[in-house]
A and B are shown apart, each in its own frame.
Chain A
Amino acid sequence: MSVASRSSRAMEVLRAMLEPRLDARAQEWLALACDECSRLPDRAEVRFPTLISLASRKVPRGALEPSNSAREAARELVPGWNPERWTILDAARAMLVLSRAHLDGPQAVAILDEVFRHADVGELCALHRSLQLLPDNARFAWRAGEGCRSSMGAVYEAAACDTGLPCARFDDLAWRQLVVKALFVGAPVARIHGLDQRLDAELARMVLDLVDERRSAGRGIPPGAWACLGAHGGLRARDSMLRELDRGQAAGRAGAILGLARAGHADLVAGHAAGGESDPLVLAALSSARSARPSQDDYAHLHGL
């Protein structure tokens, strides 16, 4: 499929998700605004950012709540695209972005920079969510990295989670920083698309350093930390997870069990199972650790516990 037709297919998917959420007036405004975006000149200018802003005054607030079939269509079209947590406004703004003329041309980065530079929090979220849908989105990797450096969790999640762009386009340094930042801001690592494909020894070291820092400070460790090691942490990771099994809360123990299984320590998992564990969260982790090698998705329900 050509990149241009992927963008137009993404518009169809968005349109289908928006249709049940917009009344006639909002639909009419959005159609006119998209049409205007499609006729804007090939340079950074003020009208496009204004339309992105105005959308908040024309489109209702609230969650997009896409149907299962719409989510399926999104996932099939763009690897990593999960609109489950999008708002209606995010989707409308993504429509405007995809309608913008010349985003396949050499001015695309400058045109989008102009919008990002003056964006408020809601706009930043929508813009970051839209980047994955654009043609040749490697051009926007630096911009996406800016979002992953944000200390505003909503912006971070929009740039880092439920999108395939970072996994496909970030260099190693940016990627590892993104993953460690998730642990700092309390974002769910399970929703970082491609986490399991891009684990390495350097990331494991960074995460284990963070774990040690947290322990020195007497603070808890997010269960997702144990999803960031794979088989790359060696004995240091093994010992750190055993310590979590010994002293951690239930969610941390469950995360460590999954982590041990991911690192190939079936014997240690079995040993813990024999040791009289009774917490349902940990028992569930033990059972999934014994049936198959756990994936990042197995950490989803541990987030925030």
Chain B
Amino acid sequence: MRFFDPHIHMTSRTTDDLEAMSKAGVRAIIEPAFWLGQPRTSVGSFIDYWSSLVGWERFRAAQFGVAHYCAMGLNSKEANDEGLAREVLAELPRFAFKEGVVAIGEIGYDEITKAEEKAYQWQLEFAVQHDMVVMVHSPHRDKKNGIRRSIAVAKECGLSMEKLVVDHNNEETVQDVLDAGAWAAFTIYPHTKMGSERMVEIVRQYGPRRIIVDSSADWGVSDPLSVPKTARLMLERGIDPAAVELTTWQNALDAYGQSGQIDMEALLKTPVVDQRQLYHQNSVLRGQAPRVEETVPND
């Protein structure tokens, strides 16, 4: 099977992860701009981080046959440093239209402060003005309220609901998101919160329409293989294979494909690992022979 993990922070992951993802059938990923586990202190480190999302990280992923897209934005946690946030938002237009930028994200609320709301609204208006998709990070505390508010503010700003993806949902929030007409994404966390087993039951109950599975793997305890593992469990537990494909591949493509930045034809071809192709370099390969023209296994 092939998978699309539309939320993963590859900058925190190793080439071992990329190799495992490629072997497990992960064909494409989206890396949304987020924080680094601690707040940045200057606009320059945002710029270098955004640059790496459209440069080095895309290159690293391509070496393993994984198509890398990204979302650009100022995250909610760092929106609270208002002076810095102003500087950061002024730089965002430079990066929002780069190749492979499929959305503004991940943005939204963390503690639902005024400063967060200001940055969120600014970025929503920017997205509406440029007809872009928005990836919303929902807060971990006061989640249900945070999601309702995220949707309401997005509507106020004029964002059409098929352009809105709300992430980190659970059983308590999914109905609100689906009722609004937005896409409901679920992050599969190992050990805590949303596990694969709960995901199976959600798909059983709500069906596959507008539901998206992702890993949100980052620098914390997380699993870059969450999407293929959840797909396998869904199949084992008798979920219709068509529903599995929708929730782990096609829905994310439909949502983020609205950006026009995903070359479907290229993505549908059998991927080939060619580490000589496109970007030769020595920092991923340290003396190893490049892997050339190996077909990526399909299951």
Contacts and interface: CB of A to CB of B under 8 A. Distances in A.
Chain A, interface size category, equals: 20 to 34
Interface string B261-288: 1010000000000001011111100010
Main secondary structure of the interface of A (DSSP, over half): helix
B59 interface: yes
A120 B98 contact: yes
A219 B287 contact: yes
Contacts of A54: 97
Interface string B233-276: 00000000000000000000000000011010000000000001
B280 A120 contact: no
B287 A217 contact: yes
The CB with the most chain A CB atoms within 10 A, among B47, B95, B98, B278, is that of B98
B287 A121 contact: no
B59 A118 contact: no
Contact of B98 (A56, A154, A184): A56
A122 B99 contact: yes
A53 B94 contact: yes
Contacts of B280: 153, 156, 185-187
B190 interface: no
Contacts of A107: none
A122 B278 CA distance: 11
A121 B281 CA distance: 14
Contact of A121 (B54, B97, B263, B283): B54
Contacts of B278: 153-154
B93 A46 contact: yes
B206 interface: no
A123 interface: yes
Interface in A139-156: 151-156
A156 B100 CA distance: 21
A217 B283 CA distance: 17
Interface string A236-268: 000000000000000000000000000000000
A164 interface: no
A46 B92 CA distance: 11
A50 interface: yes
Contacts of A122: 99
A151 B281 contact: yes
A57 B94 contact: no
Nearest to B58: A121
The CB with the most chain B CB atoms within 10 A, among A53, A155, A304, is that of A53
B279 A154 contact: yes
A120 B100 CA distance: 10
A152 B276 contact: no
A219 B58 CA distance: 28
A247 B5 CA distance: 47
Contacts of B98: 53, 56, 120, 123
A124 B59 CA distance: 13
B1 to A, nearest CB: 27
B51 interface: yes
Nearest to A218: B287
Contacts of B122: none
Contacts of A151: 281-283
A267 B93 CA distance: 64
A152 B94 contact: no
Given A120-B99, A152-B56, A185-B282, A61 B263 contact: yes
Contacts of B260: 57
B55 interface: yes
A49 interface: yes
A153 B290 CA distance: 13
Contacts of A121: 54-55, 58-59, 279
A61 B283 CA distance: 28
Nearest to A118: B94
Interface string A151-168: 111111000000000000
13 contacts: A50-B93, A53-B97, A57-B261, A61-B263, A118-B47, A118-B51, A121-B279, A124-B55, A154-B278, A155-B279, A185-B280, A186-B276, A219-B287
Question: Considering the complex of A and B, which 5 residue pairs feature the smallest CB-CB distances, nearest first?
Answer: A153-B280, A120-B54, A151-B281, A186-B280, A152-B279
